[in-house]
Amino acid sequence: MSSFTGQRLGRLIAERTGQPGLGHDAEVVGRVLPFKVSAHVVDELVDWDRAPDDPLYRLVMPHRDMLAPADFAAVEAALRDGDRVRLRLVVDGLRERLTPHPGGQLHLNVPEDGRGLRHRYPETLLVFPRQGQTCHGYCAYCFRWPQFTGDTERRQAVDGPGAADAYLAGHPEVTDVLLTGGDPLVLRAELLDTYVAPLLARPHVRTVRMVTKAVSFAPERFLTAPDADDLLRLFERIVASGRHLALMLQVSHPRELHPEPARRALRRLRATGAVLRTQAPVVRHVNDDADVWARMWQEQVELGLVPYYMFVERDTGPRRYFGLPLARALAIHADAARRVSGLARTARGPVMSTELGKLVLDGVAHLPGGPAFALRALQARDPALVGTLAHARFDPAARWWDDLLPYGPRDRVLVPGKPLTLEGVVG
Ligand code: SF4
């Protein structure tokens, strides 16, 4: 499964587009943010004739607008001068300013015994296998980008299955275990099995979830990889044990599932008994269009997949490039939902994954004091808050929950810098 990174990716872009400037820009931006593009994406997904405006190009390739002009110039100058020390300082400083760990993910819900586990909600444990802290290719908007920059300080990972198993022994309330990264399906089937087998030995673990982009970026993982069949047998074993196996497929654009290898991979995965759900953020340049989402949801339903989440781009990495105002994300979700039948209208969103939990924007309410965003807690660290409603003042420019102001004195949820409580129940 070959892939392109660094200068090799810059050369590929210059060659395939015939625009050396794009290759140069890619090399500059690629010093700050991680990029990795699989051969399948290069050959089957990107429409090179439409680069750089092709949505699949935008999904995976570096672009100079991902950095502020002054930051781009600083990195470019350090590269041009061959000043490695200055380059290191500039890059480190920039990465720090790009909010490498939004939502407090490095310290909130992390058990005392170290990084690599997150007890996100009472019933849900996230496990980050060390060997899975990469993906077959990277989405350029990835909110987990620090996992890929080679910076072990910023990396969350467990060295083996023992940490999760020990934690589960003391936490019978955990019913859902999420293997994540990165992409746990970069692990060889044999190694993945070492993480899965202890879960199946714990009766209280009822659901095993795996988040993956492999169908879109490397469908050969399920077709011709030496352990493809072993991986499918492992999935069958999880299902045969009576557990729910949820494969959470990251799919940002309908074209990702058009190539025949992706279709074949989906057929094989469905045959294991796994339930395939889809999720992605709504992002500028790629899928900020209701028609794209409506087509994507409808086609996914036809393929036997369940549209699950439309996320809001998180406050990290190249958000200046991909981010959208909340009002725009809401309009796209509502408009797309209106264009499909109820069966394809299952994706909850737009959803913000915050320190508090998952907040969904339900719509705009026209209240006596003016328009207000209606928010609901889909998930919360405190289970008592699940389902709680709140109103925030409508702000067409707001991009994240902490940009919002409470609508009334009881809507205290949205005050930046205040304790994270969701007490603004609207009666
Ligand atoms: S699949 Fe997920 S973890 Fe991997 S690059 Fe894309 S968003 Fe990041």
Q: Is the CB of 137 under 6 A from ligand 1?
A: no
Query: Is 152 in the same domain as 300?
Result: yes
Helical ranges in 149-304 per DSSP H: 162-169, 189-200, 214-217, 228-240, 260-271, 290-302
Stretch 412-426: mean pLDDT: 43
pLDDT tens digits, residue range 52-67?
999 999 999 999 999 9
Q: Which of 45, 69, 97 is the last residue of a domain?
A: 97
Question: How many separate domains does the chain show?
Answer: 2
- Residue 56 forms part of a structural domain: yes
Q: Is the CB of 183 under 6 A from ligand 1?
A: yes
Query: Over 70: is that where the pLDDT of 152 sits?
Result: no
CA distances for 328 relative to 245, 279, 336, angstroms? 34, 18, 12
Domain limits for position 44 = 3-97
Assign residue 280 the CATH number of its domain: 3.20.20.70
Per-residue confidence (pLDDT) for residue 159, from 0 to 100: 87
Query: Is 81 in the same domain as 132?
Result: no
Query: Over 90: is that where the pLDDT of 382 sits?
Result: no
pLDDT tens digits, residue range 116-128?
898 888 899 999 9
Per-residue confidence (pLDDT) for residue 101, from 0 to 100: 67
Per-residue confidence (pLDDT) for residue 412, from 0 to 100: 58
Quickly state the pLDDT bin for 154 (edges 50, 70, 90). low
- The CA angle 13-16-18, to the nearest 5 degrees, is 90
User: Is-contact 391 367, C-beta < 8 A?
Assistant: yes
Quickly state the pLDDT bin for 179 (edges 50, 70, 90). very high
Name the residue of 38, 105, 142 to mutate for ligand 1: max ligand atoms within 8 A of Cβ.
Answer: 142
CA distances for 75 relative to 87, 180, 279, 295, 345, angstroms? 6, 32, 33, 39, 44
CA distance 142 to 41: 16
pLDDT tens digits, residue range 191-238?
999 999 999 999 999 999 999 999 999 999 999 999 999 999 999 999
Query: Is 249 in the same domain as 118?
Result: yes
Q: Which residues contact 105 (CB under 8 A, 6 or more apart)?
A: 118, 156
Stretch 40-48: mean pLDDT: 97
> 370: which strand partners?
367
Query: Is 82 in the same domain as 119?
Result: no
The angle that helices 189-200 and 162-169 make with each other, rounded to 10 degrees, is: 10
Higher pLDDT, 138 or 417: 138
- Ligand 1 closest atom vs CA 147: 3
Query: Over 90: is that where the pLDDT of 420 sits?
Result: no
Query: Is 91 in the same domain as 110?
Result: no
Query: Is 72 in the same domain as 114?
Result: no
Q: Which residues contact 303 (CB under 8 A, 6 or more apart)?
A: 257, 263, 266
Per-residue confidence (pLDDT) for residue 155, from 0 to 100: 67
Q: What percent of the chain has pLDDT over 90?
A: 71
Q: Is the CB of 62 under 6 A from ligand 1?
A: no
Query: Over 60: is that where the pLDDT of 365 sits?
Result: yes
Task: Using the mean position of ligand 1's atoms as its centre, give its distance from the Cα of residue 33 in Å.
Answer: 13
pLDDT tens digits, residue range 254-312?
999 999 999 999 999 999 999 999 999 999 999 999 999 999 999 999 999 999 999 99
Per-residue confidence (pLDDT) for residue 110, from 0 to 100: 59
271 burial level (CB within 10 Å; 0-12, 13-18, 19+): exposed
Mean of all residue pLDDT scores within the chain: 90
Query: Over 50: is that where the pLDDT of 419 sits?
Result: no
